[in-house]
Amino acid sequence: MQILKLIFRNAFRHKLRTFLTVAGISIAILSFGLLRTVISAWYVGVEASAANRLVTRNSISIIFPLPLSYKDKVRQIDGVKTVSYGNWFGGIYIDEKNFFANFAVEPESYLELYPEYVLQPDQKAAFLRDRKAFFAGRKLAERYNWKLGDTVILKGTIFPGDWDFVLRAIYKGRDKNIDETQFIFHWDYLNESLKKTVPRRADQVGFYMIGVKNPVHAAEVSAAIDRTFKNSLAETLTETEKAFQLGFISMSEAIVIAIQMVSFVVIIIIMAVAANTMAMTARERFGEYAVLKTLGFGGPYIIGLIFGESLFITSIGCILGIVLTFPAAHAFGSAMSQFFPVFNVSVKTIYLEIGSSVIVGITAAIIPSYRAVTLRIADGLRRIG
């Protein structure tokens, strides 16, 4: 107990220096937490992927379509449970800065494949009945203040023209990592319009979403699907939903790596700051350590004092940094909701922050401890007075 009291008193002997060190550590931990949360948000689609879902697209590129007729052949493949399909619509709401994901899908099979999108039964029924209906995520509806029954007009980019839709349902995510900013409408509405305006683009889909009976057989089912359409005019590439999402992330892999590097650079910088603080502290107390040695206190006791003080200061900074991470992440997520629809501080991030603070505290105390332990008593006593 005496050593704990001594550590506490030593930590606040120079209050201003301790305050500035704690503030620096807090800001570093906060920055580290935000950067790690950005990385987590980048991979949120991967984390939300289901093991029993496959995605089939054109083997050349996702921008090339597949025939609608493929769905009947896919259903006949052993191991396939559910088949849905859709198109990336790419519509713009009022202004190009109002970006959000919008898809045309086959509604009943899509909702069966994605039970994590939770709709009220009456709203779901209203959506399925109305060909011009769409359902939107809770966050998206709140962002634009949409209410049930509102008419929303999207300006088509891939499919030119002004497209009007009626909001019939608002979904909530079953889990906190579910994207609640999507805009989903009937594929038939898109296809029927294309038959009248651009017949050559009708009866084509951008991708198939396939539910398998057993996730263990996902690889075999994927291979069977691609064999079925081998040497056809539109060959397919089938992969798990997770692999499909990772394919998109790989396009921006350099950015992710850069953010990861910056997050660790932040920790290295604050490690240097903490090490400098502890070096100054130890240098000022060489006389005291020499007195302790003359009284019979050995190296382990002195090491405990230095390491204890270092870990105590970094722990305070870590706690403050973690506490500040949550409101900062909420504010950042609200401001950047168009780019990061899901921005939650994960438990893994908290563990990384704690681990980083412990590493900083230990590393900062190594050299001062070594110097204090190897200090000759006579050299230390010369510093007194």
Per-residue pLDDT tens digits for 314-342: 899 899 999 999 999 888 887 777 777 78
Per DSSP, 14 falls in state S
Of 234, 263, 281, the last residue of a domain is: 234
CA dist 257 and 383 (Å) reads 49
Evaluate whether residue 49 is within a structural domain. no
Beta pairing partners, 88: 103
Close Cβ partners of 135 (under 8 Å, ≥ 6 residues apart): 117, 119, 123, 124, 127, 167, 168, 169, 170, 171, 184, 185
Strands 207-212 and 53-58: antiparallel
Give the number of domains in the chain: 2
Residue 264: its pLDDT value, please? 84
Over range 229-256, report the average pLDDT: 84
Strands 133-137 and 236-240: unpaired
Of 200, 234, 268, the last residue of a domain is: 234
Residues 101 and 201 in one domain: yes
Q: pLDDT (tens digit, 9 = 90+) per residue, 58-84? A: 999 888 999 999 999 999 999 999 999
Per DSSP, 92 falls in state B
Least confident of 26-30, 198-202, 260-264, 279-283: 279-283
Evaluate whether residue 129 is within a structural domain. yes
Residue 310: its pLDDT value, please? 86
Residues 77 and 220 in one domain: yes
Residues 80 and 229 in one domain: yes
Residues 341 and 367 in one domain: yes
What residues make up the domain containing 138? 60-234
Look-up: residue for tokens 């209906």?
133
Residues 221 and 95 in one domain: yes
Residues 280 and 206 in one domain: no
Residues 166 and 139 in one domain: yes
* pTM, 2 dp: 0.78
Evaluate whether residue 306 is within a structural domain. yes
Over range 280-302, report the average pLDDT: 78
Per DSSP, 134 falls in state E
Please name the amino acid found at residue 299: G
